[in-house]
């Protein structure tokens, strides 16, 4: 479709659900023709806290090879797709801390005129999916960014049912990322690449 769009997929994940969606989105964006950087937000929790939770420790080990997100990844990108597990209806502190490192780039105007989108995972239905994405999107307004939410722009959105971004209910860890969530993730990635490509071309004209 396009070869010039750069997409950064930047997420935090403790137990791997958000990481799995991040991978699906990264692969779909690449398939849609984008150059992709898949990056994780740095862990802030003490090692003892991570070690005390089997799923958290296992995912930390499994994802050790994923590069940690830097400000340059955002500066580089035409589109940034952020992902996070909910934390009491809000963005995880790890992803928020990364966003807070973007102040210098923001001051230079380096966050404006990019496409942004988000995805979320929760343990329960209605566990804060929409509030988390809306909280994430608050920051995008301050960036001067362009939020590209999936809306109901494809039949898959009437199945996963979240117009704000791909979302998944992990059912306390018992519900692996399924086809419904993967379909929504792929659609979101393709839409972001398509809009970012149009914006990129338009801004360069």
Ligand X SMILES: Cc1cc2nc3c(=O)[nH]c(=O)nc-3n(C[C@H](O)[C@H](O)[C@H](O)COP(=O)(O)O)c2cc1C
Query: Which secondary structure element, helix H or strand E, spans residue 40, and what is its range?
Result: strand 35-40
94 binds ligand X (CB under 6 A): no
Query: Which secondary structure element, helix H or strand E, spans residue 196, and what is its range?
Result: helix 179-204
Residue of 73, 86, 145, 148 interacting with ligand X (CB under 6 A): 86
Sign of CA dihedral 196, 187, 150, 135: negative
Q: Which stretch binds ligand X (CB under 6 A): 17-25, 39-47, 60-68, 196-204?
A: 17-25
Cα–Cα distance, 203 to 126 (Å, whole number) = 38
Q: Specify the residue, 108 or 124, whose C-beta has the smaller distance to ligand X.
A: 124
Helix axis angle, 17-31 relative to 179-204, nearest 10°?
50
13 binds ligand X (CB under 6 A): yes
Size of the site for ligand X (CB under 6 A): 19
Q: Which stretch binds ligand X (CB under 6 A): 13-21, 72-80, 110-118, 145-153?
A: 13-21
Q: Specify the residue, 125 or 204, whose C-beta has the smaller distance to ligand X.
A: 125
Q: What is the dihedral of CA 157, 160, 161, 165, to 10 degrees?
A: -80
Residue of 8, 10, 17, 143 interacting with ligand X (CB under 6 A): 17
Q: What is the dihedral of CA 67, 178, 78, 153, to 10 degrees?
A: -170
Q: Which stretch binds ligand X (CB under 6 A): 31-39, 43-51, 87-95, 143-151?
A: 87-95
Residue of 10, 16, 94, 196 interacting with ligand X (CB under 6 A): 16
Residue 87: left if φ>0, alpha if ψ -120 to 50, beta else—which one?
beta
Q: Which residues bind ligand X (CB under 6 A)?
A: 13-19, 85-89, 121-124, 127-128, 170
């Amino acid at each position: 479709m396009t070869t010039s769009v750069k997409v950064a997929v930047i997420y935090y994940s403790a137990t791997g659900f958000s990481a799995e969606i991040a991978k699906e989105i990264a692969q779909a964006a690449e398939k849609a023709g984008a150059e992709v950087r898949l990056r994780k937000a740095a862990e802030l929790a003490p090692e003892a806290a991570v070690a005390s939770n089997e799923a958290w420790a296992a995912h930390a080990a499994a994802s050790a090879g994923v590069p940690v997100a830097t400000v340059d990844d955002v500066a580089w990108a035409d589109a940034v797709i952020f992902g996070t597990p909910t934390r009491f209806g809000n963005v995880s502190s790890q992803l928020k801390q990364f966003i807070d490192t973007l102040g210098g780039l923001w001051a230079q105007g380096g966050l404006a005129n990019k496409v942004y989108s988000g995805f979320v995972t929760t343990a329960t239905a209605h566990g804060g999916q929409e509030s988390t994405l809306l909280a994430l999107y608050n920051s995008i307004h301050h960036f001067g960014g362009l939020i590209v939410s999936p809306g109901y722009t494809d039949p898959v959105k009437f199945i996963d049912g979240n117009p704000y971004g791909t979302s998944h209910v992990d059912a306390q860890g018992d519900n692996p990322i399924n086809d419904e969530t993967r379909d929504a993730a792929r659609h979101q990635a393709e839409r972001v690449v398509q809009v970012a490509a149009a914006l990129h071309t338009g801004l360069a004209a």
